[in-house]
Structures are given as structure tokens and as C-alpha cells.
Amino acid sequence: MSLNLEQYVSEFSAQNVNGEHLLQLDGSKLKALGVTSSQDRAIIKKKLKEMKASLEKARKAQEKMEKQREKLRKKEQEQLQRRSKKTDKCSSDATEGTNEQ
């Protein structure tokens, strides 16, 4: 509708074309859905291309964030292990000192 192509809404709805299906449409599938105008198909394909690019950009950003989170988790885990080793060493040193007395 935002593309001023509301004449196709009913056919798309009747064919259960949802967002996921929409992204899979190409020129021949659009024709099969009743988009007979080549200009209208071009408009739809251009918008679909933009949407796919936007989705891909968002997916990559999400992956980057997940990698950063994982890197941070690993760093925190390493710090906890180092602290634990220091604590264990201090405890064993203190125990050895008590045993020597």
C-alpha cells in the first residue's frame, strides 16, 4: 500500500503471501500473482531488494553483537579463572605457612 499498489493486496492476501513469502518473489511469481504491469513488478522488486539488503545488514549487525558478547564472556571467564588461581595459591601458601610452624 505504501507503494500505491493496493490493487494487489487482495490477491496477495488470497494467496497467503506473508513477509517470508514476499521476500522469495521474483518477476515470474509476481506475474502469477496478477502483477501484470512490468512497472509495478519493477517497483515491487526494487523494494524487495531494499528490504533484503536491510535484513542482511541487520543480520550482520546482530552477528557482530553476538561475537562481541561472546568475546566479553570469554574475557570475564578468564579473569575469574585467574582470580580463582590467585585465591587458591594464597590459600595453599597460608596453609603451608601454618603447617611449617
- The domain spans of the chain are 6-60
In this structure, how many other beta carbons lie within 10 angstroms of the beta carbon of residue 8? 19
Could you say which of 1.10.10.10, 3.40.50.150, 2.102.10.10, 1.10.150.50 is the CATH number of the domain covering 6-60?
A: 1.10.150.50
Give per-residue pLDDT as tens, 24-40: 999 999 999 999 999 99
Percent share of the chain, pLDDT over 90: 58
Residues 6+ apart with CB under 8 A from 3: 43, 44, 47
pTM equals: 0.63
Residues 6+ apart with CB under 8 A from 15: 33
Q: How many residues does the chain have?
A: 101
